[in-house]
Structure 1
Amino acid sequence: MGRKKIPGLIKRAGVWHIDKQISGRRICRSTGTDQLVEAERLLARVIDEARQAEIYGVRPERSFEQAAAKYVVENTHKRSLKNDISRLKLLMPWIGDTSISRLNLGSLQPWIDHRRAEGAAAGTINHGLKVVRRILNLAAHEWVDEYGLSWLLTAPRIKLLPDVDKRQPYPLSWDEQEKLFEALPKHLKQMALFTVNTGCRDAEVCNLRWDWEVQVPQLKTSVFIIPSEHVKNGDERLIVLNDVAKSVVEEQRGLSNTYVFPYQDRPVQRMLNGAWLRARKSVGLDMVRVHDLKHTFGRRLRAAGVSFEDRQDLLGHRSGRITTHYSAAELTSLIEAANKVCSKSDKPDLVVMRRLRLVG
C-alpha cells in the first residue's frame, strides 16, 4: 500500500498542481513536475513562505522568470513588447531561475560578457539591461502581493554600459543624396525621396496607407495622418507634403488600393534591405542608414531657418501640442517651411564636421 500524499496536491495531465488554503487564502499553481516527492517539497516551501509573509512580513522568493512573465502579461498593449520578449529570451538561460532579490549588475555580468563575446554592441546589450531594470523597478514600486508586500524591497541599481560605439547621425549632402538615390531600384528611390522630404521613419513609410490620406481642399493638397499605434512615440503623426513629396505620392497613386509604396503588390518590410545595402556600397556610402534621411530633412530645415516648433511638427516629434489639429493658415505655414528643402538652394550646403582619428 503506497503512502498518502500531503493534502493540497492534485495531478492533472501528468503534472502535480498545488490547490490549498493557507491562512484563509487559496493558492493554486503548477509545481512543474510529475514527481510526487518534488511536488511535496515545493508545497512545503510554499506553505512556509506564506506563513513567513503572513506572520513576519518576509517576502516570498520569486524568480526573474516569474517577474518577466508578469511583465509580459501586463504589457500586451506595449508597441515594443515583441522586442522586449526577444531580449528576455536571451536573458532567461542566464538569470531566469535567479531570485529577483539576488539580481544586480554583478549577477548580470556573465550574460554581459557572453553577449560581448558574441559581438553584440554596447547599445544592444543596454536594451536588455533596460528591460531587467524596468522589471525590477516595477517589482519594488508597483507590484504588491496578496500579503500587501511589494515583490522586492528595493530595486538594485542597474548601470548601463558606456556606449562609446554609438553611431552618430550622417546627414547627406545634395551630391551624396543624388548618387545614392540613383543607385537604388525605382521603388526604393521613391520611398527614399519621400522620406528625405517628410522626415518619416522607415516603418512609417513602409506601412503608409491610402486610407490615412486626408484631403485639404482649401489648400488644393492632402496630408497623411498616421494612427498612433503605428507611431514610435504613441502620438498621431501628421505628414505634410512639400512639392517633391506630393509629386512622389501622385506617381504612386493607383499602384495599390492599400499601400502607398507597394512592391510586387505587397508592402515593403523595411527599406534597409539588401537592395539598399548594395546601392550604398556601390557609391561608397556604406555608413548611410535609412534613418539618416530623417536626420537630413531635419538638418536642412534648420539650415533653412525653419523654427524649432515647426521642425518638431514636421519631424513628428512629441511636443505637448495636439499636432494633428491645424488651421488652414497653420498648414500653409508648415507646407511653406517644408518646401524650403525641396531642392538645393543658393545657400551654402550643410557643413558636417567629421571626427578624424589621428594615427601617430
Structure 2
Amino acid sequence: MAKSTPGLRKKGNIWHIDKTVAGIKLRESTGETELEAAERFLAIRIQEIRSVEVYGERRERIFDEAAARFIEEYGHKRSLDRDIDTLKAVMPYIGDLALKKIHSASLDQYIRDRKAAKISAGTLNRDMAVILRVLKLCVAMWRDEQGRPWLDNAPLLPTVQGVKRKPRPISVVEQDRLINGMPQYLADMALFALHTGLRDQEICGLQWQHERRLSGTSEIVFIITEERAKNDHERIVPLNSVARSIVNRYRDQSEFVFHLKGNRLERMNNRAWRKAREAANLADVRVHDLRHTFGMRLRAAGVSFEDRQDLLGHHAGHITTHYCKAEIARLIECVELLCGDRHGTELTLIR
C-alpha cells in the first residue's frame, strides 16, 4: 500500500486535509476516495494558499470558518442557541466545503437524513434560512485583508415541501394527564403557557426585570421586549390569578422567573417534557400547542378577535406597551376568564 502524503488522512472512505501552509490552517475534505486524486487536490490547495500569501489573491474559505464568525459576531441574537444547533447539525455535510462550492444539491443528503429522523419541513426550512443567512453575510458584510468579499454570490437553497401541521389544542382532561407527569418546574411552565399564550423561548427567557405592576392595583404584567419577541414588536403579557400565583412562587430566586437551580432553561421541549407527553399518551402534542390551546380557550370564553390578537401578540405594528390602564385592565379581565370553572370553557376537539 502506498504511503500517504503528509497532511492527508482518511475519514471513512474520503481523504481529508489536515495541514498548515504558510501559517494558514487547512482543514477540509478533498472529496476524493483515491489517494492519488486527493494528493492532486492537496497540491492545488497549497498553490492557492501560496498565491494568496505571495500575490495577494483571495483565499478560499470554508463554511466552518463562516459559521464560527457568525456565532462570534451574533452572540446577542435571541435565537442563537437554535442557530448553533442548526450549524452543528449541518457541519458534517458542508462544514469542510469551500464557500463558492456550496449549492442547492450540497444539502440534499442533509435534508434526506433529517427527514428520515422525522424532522418537519418547517424546521428544515428554518435550517436553510440560517445557512443562507451565513452565506449572505459572506457576500454583503465580511471582507478579506484586501477588502474583497468572502463570497461573490449566495446560492439559492432548497425549500422543503411538507404537510403543514395543524394546531393540536388539548382538553382539560388531557392537560391534567400531561402536567401530572412533569417535574414541578416544568408543570409550572406548562400551566403558565396555558394561561398566557407565551412561546417556549419567551417563557424560558422571562426575567424579573421585565415585570411591571399596575399602579393602585395588585395586578402585574410582563414586558416581552423587542429583542425577545418573535415579530420584533414589544408587547405586554397580562397575568391572570393563576399565572400570578405561579410566578410568585419563584420570586427572589433567580434573575429568570423560571429556572433550574438558578440557571436559565434552554427550552421546555426537553427530556422531561417528552417523557410526560409519552406517559400521557399525547405524543402528537408540542409545546407550541399550549399557545394554540390558550387562543382557542379565549375564543370559547367569548373574548373578541381583536383582544385575542393582542393577547397573542399578533397585531402587526401595534405596540401594546402603549395601552392605557383601562385597556390593560380589560385584557386582564379577558385572561381571568380562563380561571375558575375549569370546564366552563372546555373545547370540543374534533380529530
Is it true that 1:175 corresponds to 2:181 in the alignment?
Answer: no
2:296 to 299, 309, 325: 299
Question: RMSD of the alignment, in Å?
Answer: 3.8
Q: How does 1:30-179 map to 2 (within 5 A)?
A: 30-32=23-25, 41-46=47-52, 50=56, 61-116=60-115, 120-141=119-140, 150-164=149-163, 167-179=165-177
Alignment CA distance shift 1:205-1:47 (3 Å): closer
Alignment CA distance shift 1:68-1:176 (3 Å): closer
The aligned residue for residue 340 of structure 1 is: 337
> Does the aligned pair in 1 maintain the 2:300–2:345 contact within 8 Å?
no
Give the unaligned 5+ runs of structure 2: 1-18, 27-42
Give the unaligned 5+ runs of structure 1: 1-13, 18-29, 52-58, 355-360
Q: 1:186 Cα deviation (Å)?
A: 4.4
TM-score for both structures, normalised by structure 1: 0.70
Is it true that 1:213 corresponds to 2:211 in the alignment?
Answer: yes
Is it true that 1:239 corresponds to 2:245 in the alignment?
Answer: no
The aligned residue for residue 24 of structure 1 is: none
Alignment CA distance shift 1:226-1:160 (3 Å): same
How far apart are the structure 1 equivalents of 2:342 and 2:88?
51
Alignment CA distance shift 1:61-1:200 (3 Å): same
Q: Please give the secondary structure, in 1, of the residue aligned with 2:293.
A: helix
How far apart are the structure 2 equivalents of 1:182 and 1:88?
35
Alignment CA distance shift 1:106-1:276 (3 Å): closer
TM-score for both structures, normalised by structure 2: 0.72
Q: Which amino acid in structure 1 is aligned with residue 52 of structure 2?
A: V
How far apart are the structure 1 equivalents of 2:250 and 2:193?
17
How far apart are the structure 2 equivalents of 1:268 and 1:147?
43
How far apart are the structure 1 equivalents of 2:260 and 2:146?
57
The aligned residue for residue 319 of structure 1 is: 316
How far apart are the structure 2 equivalents of 1:295 and 1:160?
26
Q: 1:305 Cα deviation (Å)?
A: 4.0
User: Deviations 1:65-90 (Å, cap 9, x if unpaired)?
Assistant: 44434434442332223332332233
Larger of the two Rg values belongs to structure = 1
Q: 1:117 Cα deviation (Å)?
A: 5.2
> Does the aligned pair in 2 maintain the 1:64–1:96 contact within 8 Å?
yes
The aligned residue for residue 3 of structure 2 is: none
How far apart are the structure 1 equivalents of 2:59 and 2:250?
61
Q: Which amino acid in structure 1 is aligned with residue 200 of structure 2?
A: D
How far apart are the structure 1 equivalents of 2:301 and 2:153?
50
Is it true that 1:193 corresponds to 2:186 in the alignment?
Answer: no
Q: Please give the secondary structure, in 2, of the residue aligned with 1:108.
A: helix
1:248 to 246, 249, 272: 246
1:350 to 344, 347, 351: 347
How far apart are the structure 1 equivalents of 2:73 and 2:332?
41
Q: Which amino acid in structure 1 is aligned with residue 77 of structure 2?
A: K
Q: 1:297 Cα deviation (Å)?
A: 0.7
Q: Please give the secondary structure, in 1, of the residue aligned with 2:322.
A: coil
- How many pairs are equivalent? 317
Q: 1:240 Cα deviation (Å)?
A: 0.3
How far apart are the structure 2 equivalents of 1:184 and 1:40?
57
Q: Which amino acid in structure 2 is aligned with residue 325 of structure 1?
A: H
User: Deviations 1:143-202 (Å, cap 9, x if unpaired)?
Assistant: 5667676554443321221123x5432111233224433444544433332221111223
Q: Which amino acid in structure 2 is aligned with residue 85 of structure 1?
A: I
How far apart are the structure 1 equivalents of 2:112 and 2:197?
37
Q: Which amino acid in structure 2 is aligned with residue 45 of structure 1?
A: S
Give the fraction of aligned pairs with identical amino acids, expressed as a percent. 43
